[in-house]
Amino acid sequence: MQQLSVVILAAGKGKRMGSDLPKVLHSVGGKPLLAHVLATAHHLEAAVRVVVYGHGGHQVKTTLAGESGVLWVEQAKQLGTGHAVAQALPVLDDAGITLVLYGDVPLTRLETLQPLVDQARQGQLALLTAKLADPSGYGRIVRNEQGQVQRIVEEKDATPAERGLCEVNTGILAVSTAKLRGWVAELGNENAQGEYYLTDVVALAGHDGIAITAFTADQPTEVQGVNDRRQLAELERFYQRRQAEALLDHGAILLDPARVDVRGEVVTGKDVVIDVNVVFEGVVRLGDRVKVGPFCVLKDAMIGDDVEIFSHSRIESAEVGAGSQIGPFARLRPGSQLAAGVHIGNFVETKKTIIGPGSKVNHLTYLGDAEIGAGVNVGAGTITCNYDGANKHKTVIDDGAFIGSNSSLVAPVRIGKGATVGAGSAVGRDVPDGGLCLTRAPRKDVSHWERPAKPKS
């Protein structure tokens, strides 16, 4: 099988975006536009992925430095799409085929592109087109009386009759690399914009007797590019609709599919319920019968079966065991690991903390750098004082301990198994198993005490 090279044109500045950020680094679904295209090329099993960059090239390469196996080619002067492809040709193998994609067209599906690749391997030139109610700004597909593609005409060069055509060029094509190399060498810039159009290779292919096959995208939005903020917002909504439909197809219940945002990957078990205005980031796994309340944010989280997450909670790089309850208004920070049946209540924050089965932390508490055993009750207003201004220290609370409200546990410190810390205590030394720790000052009552009064003027 002929190897596939994917050339991604990403040199445009994007003036209409009104931003210092290169256009291809603006995000859809929490990921740069160009990253979406690179992922698609990877799933097509491309042997070579070439990015032709220009404006903001250093920033683009730095942002996507984690993408392995990408060849970066600079287009120092932007002289058109044909000129951009010419910059990539020296690194391509003539024995294979080339698919041309665009760094600002992020949502073209694998199943839309695969037929183009297959047709190119059969020796044809394959184009991707779209039919638009308003084709303004796009090059038009010109066919002969038999319906065969003859050429593509850019709008600025089109006649009034050609401008009336509704089938447009997406710019995406696949063809033999050797043929492409020859046609690109023949391109001229005698047109309204003085540029070398890649679209002109279609007429050259027809002249050489190469069969041209046009595939029409089922959904025009999936081949839509980004030129301004409005188009970016439209693609974001289109992308989120796709993600919501995928969750529904896997059996999740979305109380309003239009008000869930997926900015990564979500894997759901059976009978998961997701309320409105929930945001998923990174990789999130939800077990069976999980309920996520409104206005929650979950990022890189693993949630066990039968967990209920109440409204306005944030869970990041954390694990929650089966049957636990979280929130409302709770925050689990990175490194938090909750066993089964744990209760984390309102305005509780945990960081790098392990909490054992059945333990409860119900109100207004901070637990950082801590290890909590099973069956522990942590009262309202408790904090682990884990930072001394230079170093972090660990707090250990053993099984069955009871921490009274408004207690400060000054790390490093251990609270023994079954021990009790009285409310309002500041604990700086270990408490033995079964012990009681009270650090409140003895009560003192003053009879007939008068509150200070302001002097009369």
Two structure tokens written together for 195: 């540029």
Per-residue model confidence (pLDDT) at position 298: 98
Per-residue model confidence (pLDDT) at position 367: 98
26 in active site: no
For the stretch 127-148, pLDDT in tens is 999 999 888 888 899 998 888 8
The closest of 304, 271, 270 to 285, measured between CA atoms, is 304
- Catalytic: which of 42, 55, 312, 363? 363
Per-residue model confidence (pLDDT) at position 154: 86
- Stretch 236-257: mean pLDDT: 97
The closest of 409, 428, 429, 431 to 419, measured between CA atoms, is 431
Q: How far is the first Cα of the chain from the last one, in angstroms, to the nearest whole number?
A: 99
Q: Looking up tokens 């210092």, which residue turns up?
A: 20
Q: What is the DSSP string of 198-226?
A: GGGHHHHHHHTT--EEEEE-SSGGGG---
Reported as a pLDDT band with limits 50, 70 and 90, residue 119 is very high
For the stretch 42-80, pLDDT in tens is 999 999 999 999 988 899 999 998 888 899 999 988 899
For the stretch 81-118, pLDDT in tens is 999 999 999 999 999 999 999 999 999 999 999 999 99
Q: What is the sign, positive or negative, of the torsion defined by CA atoms of 201, 204, 209, 212?
A: positive
The Cα–Cα gap between 154 and 152 comes to: 7
Instruction: Using the predicted structure, report yes or no on whether residue 245 has a pLDDT greater than 90.
Output: yes
Q: Name all domains of the chain by residue range, CATH numbers in brackets.
A: 4-223 (3.90.550.10), 243-437 (2.160.10.10)
Per-residue model confidence (pLDDT) at position 13: 79
Average pLDDT value over all residues in the chain:
94
Please work out, in degrees rounded to the nearest 5, the angle formed at the alpha carbon of residue 316 by the alpha carbons of 310 and 321.
60
Helices (H), 267-419: none
- Cα 67 to Cα 26, 70, 418, distances in angstroms: 17, 6, 52
Contact 384, 368 (CB under 8 A): yes
Packing angle of the helix pair 177-186, 81-88 (nearest 10 deg): 130
For the stretch 273-298, pLDDT in tens is 999 999 999 999 999 999 999 999 99
DSSP H helix total and E strand total for the chain: 8, 37
